[in-house]
Amino acid sequence: MGYRAVAPDLRGFGDSDAPDSVASYTCFHLVGDLVELINVVAPDEGKVFVVGHDWGVGSYFGLKPGEIEAEFAEIEANYYVTKFQKTGYTGGLNYYRNFDRNWELLAPWAGCEIKTPAKFIVGDKDLVYHMPGMKDYIHKGGFKEDVPLLQEVVVMEGVGHFINMKIPDEITNHIFNFFFCPPSSMS
């Protein structure tokens, strides 16, 4: 579609390096990795698009700590830490063990508005979407208040958390359309 896409394994995931220290997985390390990757791959670009999945590293580029995110982080961390402990895989485990530390590190930005154009896509069967307070936050103004340039919220029917794997063509089209013709108002 005319874009060069880069889909890196994040620190500690896939084939990336996996430092042993939990302290090597803070939000600043992970964002730093991605910023350096952008600097290497697109050093002369005036603008890049960051597409993230979940409330993880992509959120550190735009979202901030808050009550809903902190509650979600604890639930997600407990789920994934249990899964990683069963496999003995420490890279991803260290990422999820850092949630509390990341909220501490991001505290100076609590209450700041994110003024970057954004589009949010979620599956209607995603368990996170059904967490207490999440739908209200997304649809009743909280999300838009925190991200004033949030241009669209899309709820995909019949799909769960990994929508990019379940319906990749539809997700790609949503992303492409956002790049070229962002909607004039949030739906």
The residues annotated as belonging to the active site are: 54, 96, 161
Cβ atoms of 184 and 177 closer than 8 Å: no
Cβ atoms of 90 and 20 closer than 8 Å: yes
Q: Of the candidates 52, 47, 27, 59, which has an alpha carbon nearest to the alpha carbon of residue 143?
A: 59
101-137 burial, b for 16+ CB within 10 Å, e for fewer? ebbeebeeeeeeebeebbbbbbbeebebeeeeebeeb
Report how far residue 168's alpha carbon sits from residue 162's, in angstroms, rounded to the nearest whole number.
10
What tokens appear for 130 in the block?
Answer: 């059904």
**Which residues lie below 8 Å from residue 55, measured CB to CB, with a gap of 6+?**
63, 69, 72, 73, 76, 128
Report how far residue 175's alpha carbon sits from residue 142's, in angstroms, rounded to the nearest whole number.
23
Report how far residue 111's alpha carbon sits from residue 181's, in angstroms, rounded to the nearest whole number.
29
Cβ atoms of 110 and 65 closer than 8 Å: yes
